[in-house]
Amino acid sequence: MRQLTALDTQFLSTESATTAAHVAGVAILADPVTRADLVTLLNDRAHLAPPLRMRLQGLPFGLDRPYWVDDPDTDAADHVYETTLPAPGDDRQLAEVVAALHARRLDRSRPLWEMHLIHGLSGGRTAVYTKIHHAAIDGVSGVEILGAMLDLSPEVRQVEPAAETITISPDLRTMLAGAVGRTMTQPVRVARSLARTVGDLDAIPLAASLPGARKVAGMARRFLGVRPAPTLPPLAAPRTPFNGPISADRVMAYGTLPLDEVKRIAKDHGMSVNDVVMALCASALRAWLRDEDALPDRPLVAAVPVSVRTARGTMGNQISVMLAPLPTDVADAGERLRTTRATMARVKRRFAASPTTWLNDVCGLLPAPVSALATPAVFRLASRLAPAVNLIVSNVPGPQFPLWMCGARVLAYHPLSVITDISGALSVTCLSYDGRLDIGIVACPSRVPDPWAIIDHLESALEELAEAELTETELTETEPTETEPTATVGPDQR
């Protein structure tokens, strides 16, 4: 039994009639797979992935954050579904089915995950769509779970069975006593959280756009005796079609870029792979906004989740967030790359100098019952005012060798994330796998009707950036010049 953190609980509170807070992915397999084989695989390996066998245990009236408790009766057969696409089974048909599944919230009365086996994809391929609630995993732990279900060859490996464990039922009196204790100490914890975060007010979504945020943060750091932080570029997000209240519907699109070409651009321009991903997004979104006659005259601002995970195999979220400008206002491709490199270097230096706990601290400022009631309304209201960010961009490092599921080779894996009123109606998530950069886009159709256009622009952006002219300095550089954060980017950062 383990209590959710304030950040984990925030992902539960975020859910509303228009928001589902799970992360997901679509695996494209080369060959057919049966539901029976998939269920057997999941049951045999569920002990390697704690979120597959844990459920929520809440307190009456939501008096405190809920707990994860082991569910010994979990059977994968209750979580695996099956459907078949009509002919011809093309990519857009698959995307429509997945988008409808991605829009549906998970049933909180049982372990918070589902898997959908989708037959009928053209070329004899099969798709497996998997979603797990964000309260249970982040990007890096999601990749760990995926790895536990995959094999290094077509032969399905045998794993050691789960060790005998004693299931401890939650004691209501103990949980209520803990709730009382946390309620009494809430003011102290809030004071400590504010002390840790006020010095980074200019790096926190929404707060960063407030007048005087940078000055208040600087004064707080001086008052607290904290060394001055590296300055950030302007982080006031412009209003775009991505921003405003979202609907309950979802659309998705997916695509793939050659990772070798992305790495070559990174090497030529002294950047990291993640910097190139940001430049690709800036280029694609510039083109899309220009087509919509909605290109703002200042950079978009992306929220970039960064993993600060230190232990493998643990449930919950160990992430922070960087705010990063996307130079959509820069017309020249080469200059856009150089601007991305410079701005990402600044935000990464600032991230390294900031406490990694600020996101959890901010989520814990309100008591759990108040947060659960207030979050959807606050997010909805904030979306009608000045946007906190324009979108989410995530980049998760994956294995650079082929993998198999139930004997079928995994051709691609397209990750999918969350959209909310406050974070924008668009998320772009990338995962590197076996020489590919697999991309998944989730959007609200009332704001981004056709996300396939963004996939097309990403492909064009790669060609544009590949042809960008090098400066004299870049011609002499052979390695990235900036130091990455020690964390992995992700729903996380490289």
User: 277 near 430, Cβ under 8 Å?
Assistant: yes
User: 252 near 419, Cβ under 8 Å?
Assistant: no
The Cα 481–Cα 374 span in angstroms is 44
User: 82 near 119, Cβ under 8 Å?
Assistant: yes
Of all helices (H) and strands (E), which one includes residue 288? helix 273-291
Structure-block tokens of residue 109:
């009365």
Rounded to 5 degrees, what are φ and ψ at 130?
Answer: -125, 135
Residue 267, helix vs strand vs coil: helix
| Burial class, 166, CB count within 10 angstroms (exposed 0-12 / middle 13-18 / buried 19+) | exposed
134 carries an active-site annotation = yes
Q: Which of 134, 269, 414, 457 is catalytic?
A: 134
Rounded to 5 degrees, what are φ and ψ at 303?
Answer: -90, 125
Residue 401, helix vs strand vs coil: coil
User: 140 near 490, Cβ under 8 Å?
Assistant: yes
Residue environment code for 483-492, b if the CB has 16+ CB neighbours within 10 A, otherwise e: ebbebbbbbb
DSSP secondary structure letter of residue 209: G
The Cα 391–Cα 444 span in angstroms is 12
- Alpha helices (H) in 292-397, listed in sequence order: 333-352, 358-363, 368-384
Write out the DSSP string of 111-146: -SEEEEEEEEEGGGEEEEEEEEETTT--HHHHHHHH
The Cα 378–Cα 55 span in angstroms is 27
Active-site residue numbers? 134
